[in-house]
Chains A and B, each alone.
Chain A
Amino acid sequence: MQPAYVVETEQLSKFFKDKASKTQITALTDLNIKIEKGKLTALIGPDGAGKTTLMRMICGLMVPSEGKLTVLGRDITDRPQLVQNLLSYMPQKFGLYEDLTCQENMNLYADLHGVPQDVRKERFAKLLHMTGLAPFTGRLAGKLSGGMKQKLGLACTLVRSPSLLLLDEPTVGVDPLSRRELWEILKQLVSDEHISVLVSTAYMDEAAMCQHIIMLNHGKVLANETPEALLDVARGLCFVAATPPGIPARNLQAALLDDKENVIDAVPESGNVRFTVHSTDCIEKLAALKAFPGLQTWPVDVSLEDSFMMLLKKSETDPDDSPEFSLEYNKMPERSDQVLIEVRDLVRKFGDFIAVNNTSFQVHKGEIFGLLGPNGAGKSTTFKMLCGLLPATSGVLSVAGMDLRTARAQARANVGYVAQKFSMYANMSVKQNLRFFGGVYGLEPRHLNERIEEVMREFNLTSVAQKSAGDLPGGYKQRLSMAVGLIHRPPILFLDEPTSGIDPVARRTFWRQITAFAAAGTTIIITTHFMEEAEYCDRIMIQDQGKMIILGTPEHVRKEGGNSRTMNEAFISIVETNRNAGT
């Protein structure tokens, strides 16, 4: 008899030993879930929730610490090889051999799975057609774009029809168009071949396409429902507030988000602000009404993101110790036409590979300027050139009126930079780091001490001043990085992918800070691969495969993208229009 569930867990727990501190880290506790056969199941939750650990245990790469785990009717700890023969798994890094061509990668997996030659021919033709990789079979996997790598990774796991397909965050950092294409393939597979699929994802629009959703947070199950049932959590509690003219949407969003008594979550959307409340009568009591009398609000349909954020915020038991950044919500931003950053015909080549192609833009004083695009689009390369970390192949670059080619040091003195990776000295204390970087930026010792006290107060770091930077929790680390970037009061702040790898709640807090800095007159340039974060920016530039696709206000971009509601849709529409125009 075939079991009705492909995965069953009973009180499943997983602990890791942290070698450095000799403490036990809990990845998963007392998990009781059942994953149904023949269905598309989504595993959602913020980074560090335990999604990857669960995936790895299901395919026998990790051993459960406690409890029982049954996969395809077998205890996984018994003989994992028998289960591994039947299922396919695509790890986060895709697991492709970059020195092998697409065809060779697929052949390798077909050989390992023992797919007979006659079956293989038909299967390969189907997979290549579905993934659109047919023209690229002879290309090395390392030379494919992120979206194509992801599809090839999927094709390799599907050389034969597996009983269970596990995909670990297959779409992280991949462009929205490729993401949509991947999901079309997945949906087709489930309907054609009745494969059971478990896919972990950070994108709620993807989870919405699944038949079942399991939500994890801190190693515990927060929800185990159908998407419909999950929507009920926030149904009737979702509203949109209209942004008053002349005010950035992020200011209104900040006003709503700060009103913790009434509002659970708020996020800018299509120029307005979408928010969820504790109960319907909260809408009358909104604190934002004080700053914005006559604020118009209206109810909207619930989305999965609303329910997700609601469950997440309710499950967070830690007291919120994030610093308060005071902000006059209704203050009109001072617009000036002074160009702080000028980029003309910027080109950067690595060998014969063009990473950034003919890019031109200007950033005005007091703006939040966003560089958006999928991984490998050229954002980071553009960014590094702006910061003077990488010389441009050709083109003009000036920061605060200084040419980066001739006056790199002076241009840098005007700039605060927060790198994507945590780049503080891990074994120095918070205060020592601040003192060191302050010294590097040339602050006078007497003035420096005052400034250190000031930023520590501002970023709520006083309580951890003597702790080693490496031992801080994630949120503190990011605040320390920001404090260091701002220690010399730069008029311009560069932020490289500050929101990747942090959970949605922390992302809200982060943007709340940025809103305050912008209101205080700091010019901010930020890169992100989350398209929806464009809504926080005054103007954005979207890049794809080294080319600048579009430049303008978020409103302009949405309009150009076929009057799309979201940035994702706008991106897809613009890329498709460009490609059609090209052919």
Chain B
Amino acid sequence: MFSLPDFTVIFMNDFLRRLKALVLKEYYQLMRDSSSLTIGIIIPIMLILLIGYGLTLDIKNVPTAVVLEDASPTVQDMLSFMTGSEYFETHYVTSMREAEKLMSQRKAEAIVRIPSDFTSKLKRGHADIQIILWGVDAATARTAGGYIEAGIAQWQAANRANYPVASTGKGAVVVTSRQWFNDANTSTWVFVPGLVVMIVTLVGVFLTTMVMAREWERGTLESLFVSPVRILEILLSKIIPYFCVAMCGFWLCIFAARVLFNVPIHGSFLIILFSSVIYLIASLGMGLTISSTIRSQFLASQIALLVSMMPTMMLSGFMFDLRSSPLVIQAVGHILPATFYMELIKSLFLAGNNWPMIIKNCSVLTLYAIFFIILSFKVTRKRLE
């Protein structure tokens, strides 16, 4: 006579034995295949270093030509913020022609011209300064302009008592960019939490798609299918190792954020960890779904790139604030699980615990995780047609 628990024990034994064998196989492959290791470990490290150190919206050492048609001590004092600053590399010239020459030779990105009647006009409360920017690099030009305006505004504020009516009429603009000016690390702080999203996506979707599609392509699944293996075991054997690899990437990012870039974590770390796990499960499900549908390594990796990595970089709010995008782009961005995860992670790192958002975004991510895991089981069949 069989009793039910016996059956369960036998089933569990077989299940665990097969799962163990498959996970072990996956581990060997991961360790021996340099392309998997590159995607799983090397690219995340490079992304951290490149994006952490290299990608910043701040600019430094802007070559600036200063045309001193009026070289009074007031002017010298006003422009003192430029000398010795790491943001400017100043060349003092005496005529506008010289300055223009420097700019056309690309030796100056900006020209600051102090007209000869500046001091006298300033005393009357209405002085002009001309700023000319090399507009080809629009972003650099804007930032450099912001720096100069901010510097002058600062001086103005400090000397308000001396020139009570002085106003260049640009006050409002100057004050907004002031933050950037004082806080050079801000953009790194914004990018590093986003990096967590990038790396979890890279391993979760891209690497998983590659390894699963490779099995379809090389015909290894064909012989695996004709054995006692169940689909559940095959999918779990892909989920478990790549979950671990992605978690390594996650910890690497957290380490880099705290130690290398000193990014603060204002929110709860446990919630960061929790939401990352949910997002990772959704990514793995997505990767497995793509590879079981496409079955060709090249095509599957292209699709994975197109539906995960590219939109995560462009549309999730990693680079550009989604709120300032056109409505259509916003809508597309909000189809992606990455957008919800990105929003959550950034605010957890930099702003703190915003409970309504945490609950909303975690629920959305959970739904995505359930959806993609179920979908991956639906599309993976022990069939070759």
Contacts and interface: CB of A to CB of B under 8 A. Distances in A.
Contacts of A87: 226
B225 A97 contact: no
Given A97-B25, A97-B220, A99-B29, A111 B229 contact: no
Interface in B14-43: 14, 17-18, 20-22, 24-25, 28-29, 32-33
Contacts of B25: 97, 100, 104, 108
Given A61-B225, A100-B29, A112 B220 contact: no
Contact of B382 (A61, A94, A153): A61
Interface in A55-101: 56, 59-63, 80-81, 84-85, 87-100
B223 A61 contact: no
Given A85-B228, A111-B20, A63 B383 contact: yes
Contacts of B219: 91-95
A157 B18 CA distance: 16
A91 B220 CA distance: 9
A112 B28 contact: no
A112 B21 contact: yes
A109 interface: yes
Contacts of A63: 383, 385
Given A63-B385, A111-B17, A111-B21, A84 B227 contact: yes
Contacts of B224: 95, 112
Contacts of B20: 111
Interface string B189-219: 0000000000000000000000000000011
A564 interface: no
Given A61-B225, A88-B226, A100-B28, A80 B17 contact: no
A84 B228 contact: yes
Contact of A62 (B218, B229, B383): B383
B29 A108 contact: no
Contacts of B220: 95-97
B230 interface: yes
- Among A88, A89, A91, the most chain B Cβ lie within 10 Å of the Cβ of A91
B384 interface: yes
Contacts of A89: 222-223, 226
A107 interface: yes
Interface in A406-432: none
Contact of B223 (A80, A95, A99): A95
Contact of A104 (B28, B33, B225, B230): B28
A114 interface: yes
A97 B228 CA distance: 18
Given A56-B384, A112-B228, A114-B14, A61 B28 contact: no
A61 B222 contact: yes
B222 A111 contact: no
A120 to B, nearest CB: 12
Given A56-B384, A100-B28, A107 B222 contact: no
Contacts of A56: 384
Contacts of B382: 60-61, 80-81, 84
A85 B18 CA distance: 13
A86 B252 CA distance: 46
Contacts of A166: 226
Contacts of B28: 99-100, 104
Interface residues of A, number: 38
A156 interface: yes
B169 to A, nearest CB: 63
Contacts of A60: 225-226, 382
Contact of A157 (B14, B33, B223, B229): B223
A458 B223 CA distance: 46
B225 A109 contact: no
A92 to B, nearest CB: 7
A81 B228 contact: yes
A113 B223 CA distance: 12
A59 B384 CA distance: 11
Contacts of A80: 382
| Category for how many chain B residues contact A | 20 to 34
A98 B224 CA distance: 14
A157 B227 CA distance: 9
B29 to A, nearest CB: 5
B222 A93 contact: yes
A99 B26 CA distance: 10
B17 A61 contact: no
B229 A112 contact: yes
Interface string B137-173: 0000000000000000000000000000000000000
Nearest to A153: B223
Nearest to B225: A61
Contact of A84 (B22, B33, B226): B226
A72 to B, nearest CB: 13
Contacts of A156: 223
Contacts of A85: 227-228
A113 B230 CA distance: 12
A91 B385 contact: no
Contacts of B14: 114
Nearest to A112: B227
Nearest to B220: A95
A116 to B, nearest CB: 11
Contacts of B230: 81
B29 A97 contact: yes
B331 to A, nearest CB: 31
Given A59-B226, A113-B228, A93 B218 contact: yes
Nearest to B385: A62
Contacts of A92: 219
Contacts of B229: 112
Nearest to B227: A112
B30 to A, nearest CB: 9
Nearest to A104: B28
- Among B25, B224, B227, the most chain A Cβ lie within 10 Å of the Cβ of B227
A109 B32 CA distance: 19
Given A97-B29, A104-B28, A112-B227, A91 B383 contact: no
A283 B18 CA distance: 64
Contacts of A107: 21
A96 B28 CA distance: 14
A156 B223 CA distance: 10
A113 B384 contact: no
A95 B214 CA distance: 12
B222 A91 contact: yes
A378 B95 CA distance: 74
B270 to A, nearest CB: 37
A91 B223 contact: yes
A301 to B, nearest CB: 39
B341 to A, nearest CB: 32
B220 to A, nearest CB: 5
- Among A63, A90, A99, the most chain B Cβ lie within 10 Å of the Cβ of A99
A16 B226 CA distance: 22
Interface in B334-385: 382-385
- Among B17, B20, B22, B218, the most chain A Cβ lie within 10 Å of the Cβ of B218
B241 to A, nearest CB: 13
A114 B228 contact: yes
Contacts of B32: 99, 140
B356 to A, nearest CB: 47
6 contacts: A59-B226, A60-B226, A62-B385, A84-B382, A95-B220, A97-B25
Interface of A: 16, 56, 59-63, 80-81, 84-85, 87-100, 104, 107-109, 111-114, 140, 153, 156-157, 166
Given A87-B226, A111-B18, A112-B227, 5 more contacts: A61-B226, A89-B222, A95-B222, A108-B21, A112-B22
The 5 closest A-B pairs by CB, nearest first: A95-B223, A111-B21, A93-B219, A89-B226, A91-B222
